[in-house]
Amino acid sequence: MSNTFQPHPPGGTGLVLQRFTPSAALRPYVQCYWQARGQSQGQSQGQSQGQGGSEPAGRELADRPADRELLHPDGAAGLLFNFGGALERDGNRLRGTCWIDGPKRRTARLTVGSQLELLGVRFLPGMALPFLGESLAVLAGGGLTPGEALRRLELEALHERLLETPDPAGRIALLEGYLLQRLRRHAAPQVPALTASLDWLERHQGQASVATLVAELPFGQRHLERLFQRHVGLSPKRYARLLRVARSRELIKQGGATISLTDTAFAAGYFDQAHFIHDFKAVTGFTPGGYRDHVRRRYGPVQSSAV
């Protein structure tokens, strides 16, 4: 297990993040473990001067209007444990201790306050099923599923053990042990065609058509759809759209005002501006121009290293 840190960009909300790498046995399934803490305004200003943590994989922190972090979808699922005050996401206050964070279809907004203290597991897209024991299609959408809804996971008992172990290394060790035990008990053969399909879509950044992918598979599109609904929780087409929009966000951040949004759309695989704007807003809640304005307000001039 290791952890990495990055400077927190100026103008942040005071959210401090750490990311921890899973053990070798879990790397085929887990992107990372992550810890997030909120800070008071005074602490946040010190944070922006160079101390900080790195973001959880797949949860790009792109916009910080006063006290919110954007949690962009990447097709992955996770587990979430709360050790602070009531969690507020998308304007809803969630009272509880633990949740399953299913695959999101659109960007979520996390309210940050000084009492925020979260610990999470982020699985790789398509790799959560052995641990959750539930079709990902049931968990997909935008909301968090309370841990008590899937009692067989015993997440509430795990939360109690984590609460009694305040140091990060001890908590990560508990999470590792829990996941390894789940994997031993519920291990299922990996599906090479699914892994290959996910890799193919990621390699093409969602730009190639699903029909082109199916032409390379030994089965038809209907079977591929079933695989994705069960293991990813999203259709191949929707997953590809998330990849295209993610690529668009990166291009906007890298290019700023120096590259036209028309060129950005083309580079991300869109051949008409209307389709680009529709997809981008459907996923992020911003128009491409609105997102570029937010990035400029947060970072100032173009910064290719922006989170």
Domain range annotation of the chain:
2-186, 189-307
Q: Dihedrals φ, ψ of 295, to 5°?
A: -65, -40
What pLDDT sits at residue 40? 57
Fold adopted by 189-307: Arc Repressor Mutant, subunit A (1.10.10)
Give the number of other Cβ atoms within 10 Å of residue 75's Cβ.
Answer: 28
| Total number of residues shown for the chain | 307
- Say what the pTM is: 0.85
What pLDDT sits at residue 169? 94
Same fold, 2-186 and 189-307: no
Fold adopted by 2-186: Jelly Rolls (2.60.120)
Q: Which two tokens stand for residue 160?
A: 């109690």
- Which are the contacts of 198, defined by CB distance < 8 A and separation ≥ 6? 125, 126, 232, 239
User: What's the rounded Cα separation, in Å, for the pair 221 and 227?
Assistant: 10
What pLDDT sits at residue 295? 86
pLDDT along the chain (307 residues), means of 10: 38 78 96 89 45 40 58 96 94 92 94 92 96 94 89 96 94 97 84 94 94 93 96 97 96 87 94 95 96 82 46
What pLDDT sits at residue 190? 79
What pLDDT sits at residue 5? 32
On whether the CB atoms of residues 279 and 271 are closer than 8 A, the answer is no
What pLDDT sits at residue 294? 84
What pLDDT sits at residue 187? 73
Nearest CA-CA partner of 91 in 120, 67, 74: 67
- Which are the contacts of 185, defined by CB distance < 8 A and separation ≥ 6? none
